Structure 1
Amino acid sequence: MRELEADGVIVRTVSAETPSRVEYELTALGHSLTPILATLHEWGARHRPGPLPSGTPDQH
Protein backbone atom coordinates (compact mmCIF):
# COMPACT_ATOMS: atom_id res chain seq x y z
CA MET A 1 0.00 0.00 0.00
CA ARG A 2 2.85 2.39 0.80
CA GLU A 3 4.30 1.88 -2.68
CA LEU A 4 0.92 2.57 -4.31
CA GLU A 5 0.69 5.72 -2.20
CA ALA A 6 4.22 6.79 -3.13
CA ASP A 7 3.40 6.20 -6.81
CA GLY A 8 0.27 8.37 -6.58
CA VAL A 9 -2.21 5.55 -7.20
CA ILE A 10 -3.94 5.87 -3.82
CA VAL A 11 -4.30 8.46 -1.06
CA ARG A 12 -4.00 7.39 2.57
CA THR A 13 -5.98 9.30 5.21
CA VAL A 14 -5.55 8.70 8.95
CA SER A 15 -8.45 9.83 11.16
CA ALA A 16 -7.97 11.75 14.38
CA GLU A 17 -10.28 9.30 16.18
CA THR A 18 -9.24 6.95 18.94
CA PRO A 19 -8.60 4.28 17.91
CA SER A 20 -7.32 5.77 14.71
CA ARG A 21 -8.76 4.65 11.41
CA VAL A 22 -6.95 4.54 8.08
CA GLU A 23 -8.82 4.99 4.81
CA TYR A 24 -7.50 4.54 1.29
CA GLU A 25 -8.94 6.11 -1.84
CA LEU A 26 -8.01 5.85 -5.50
CA THR A 27 -6.58 8.95 -7.13
CA ALA A 28 -7.32 9.93 -10.73
CA LEU A 29 -4.23 7.94 -11.67
CA GLY A 30 -5.59 4.93 -9.78
CA HIS A 31 -8.96 5.24 -11.52
CA SER A 32 -7.14 5.34 -14.86
CA LEU A 33 -6.11 1.72 -14.21
CA THR A 34 -9.75 0.55 -14.30
CA PRO A 35 -9.78 -0.46 -18.01
CA ILE A 36 -6.54 -2.40 -17.58
CA LEU A 37 -7.82 -4.24 -14.50
CA ALA A 38 -11.14 -4.95 -16.23
CA THR A 39 -9.27 -6.51 -19.15
CA LEU A 40 -7.23 -8.68 -16.76
CA HIS A 41 -10.45 -9.73 -15.00
CA GLU A 42 -12.05 -10.72 -18.31
CA TRP A 43 -8.94 -12.69 -19.32
CA GLY A 44 -8.98 -14.53 -15.99
CA ALA A 45 -12.69 -15.29 -16.32
CA ARG A 46 -12.11 -16.82 -19.77
CA HIS A 47 -9.17 -18.93 -18.61
CA ARG A 48 -10.22 -20.14 -15.16
CA PRO A 49 -10.61 -23.92 -14.97
CA GLY A 50 -14.18 -23.94 -13.63
CA PRO A 51 -17.01 -21.87 -12.22
CA LEU A 52 -16.42 -19.46 -9.36
CA PRO A 53 -17.34 -20.67 -5.87
CA SER A 54 -20.87 -19.82 -4.76
CA GLY A 55 -21.23 -16.25 -3.52
CA THR A 56 -18.15 -14.96 -5.38
CA PRO A 57 -18.90 -11.89 -7.51
CA ASP A 58 -18.26 -12.53 -11.20
CA GLN A 59 -18.47 -8.91 -12.31
CA HIS A 60 -16.04 -6.01 -11.93
Structure 2
Amino acid sequence: MTRLQIPAYTDRWMMGDRYGSLDKVTKRKSDGEEIAHVTLEKSGNTVRVILADCT
Protein backbone atom coordinates (compact mmCIF):
# COMPACT_ATOMS: atom_id res chain seq x y z
CA MET A 1 0.00 0.00 0.00
CA THR A 2 1.15 3.47 -0.84
CA ARG A 3 0.65 6.28 1.66
CA LEU A 4 -0.28 9.64 0.18
CA GLN A 5 -1.76 13.01 1.04
CA ILE A 6 -5.06 13.96 -0.55
CA PRO A 7 -5.38 17.39 -2.27
CA ALA A 8 -5.71 20.47 -0.08
CA TYR A 9 -8.90 21.60 -1.86
CA THR A 10 -10.98 18.74 -0.39
CA ASP A 11 -13.20 19.13 2.67
CA ARG A 12 -11.60 16.10 4.33
CA TRP A 13 -8.16 17.73 4.11
CA MET A 14 -9.56 20.89 5.74
CA MET A 15 -10.93 18.77 8.61
CA GLY A 16 -7.49 17.27 9.27
CA ASP A 17 -8.08 13.92 7.60
CA ARG A 18 -5.16 14.36 5.19
CA TYR A 19 -3.35 11.05 4.79
CA GLY A 20 -4.42 7.65 3.59
CA SER A 21 -3.48 4.54 1.69
CA LEU A 22 -4.03 4.04 -2.01
CA ASP A 23 -6.50 1.22 -2.65
CA LYS A 24 -6.84 1.32 -6.42
CA VAL A 25 -6.59 3.57 -9.46
CA THR A 26 -9.25 3.83 -12.14
CA LYS A 27 -9.54 5.93 -15.29
CA ARG A 28 -12.42 8.16 -16.34
CA LYS A 29 -14.04 7.11 -19.58
CA SER A 30 -14.53 10.67 -20.79
CA ASP A 31 -10.97 12.02 -20.57
CA GLY A 32 -8.79 9.17 -19.32
CA GLU A 33 -7.83 11.00 -16.12
CA GLU A 34 -6.62 8.70 -13.31
CA ILE A 35 -8.79 8.62 -10.18
CA ALA A 36 -7.31 7.39 -6.88
CA HIS A 37 -9.46 5.54 -4.34
CA VAL A 38 -7.91 6.42 -0.98
CA THR A 39 -8.81 5.00 2.46
CA LEU A 40 -8.16 7.77 4.98
CA GLU A 41 -6.24 7.00 8.17
CA LYS A 42 -8.15 9.18 10.62
CA SER A 43 -11.77 8.41 9.66
CA GLY A 44 -11.45 5.17 7.69
CA ASN A 45 -13.59 6.62 4.89
CA THR A 46 -12.75 5.97 1.27
CA VAL A 47 -12.61 9.01 -1.00
CA ARG A 48 -12.02 9.39 -4.73
CA VAL A 49 -9.62 12.12 -5.81
CA ILE A 50 -7.59 12.99 -8.90
CA LEU A 51 -4.32 11.07 -8.62
CA ALA A 52 -2.22 13.84 -10.20
CA ASP A 53 -3.30 16.23 -7.39
CA CYS A 54 -2.10 13.92 -4.59
CA THR A 55 1.30 14.22 -2.95
Compute the TM-score of the two structures, normalised by the length of structure 1. 0.27
Higher Cα Rg, which structure: 1
Higher RCO, Cα 8 Å, sep 6+: 2
Flag the structure with higher helix content.
1
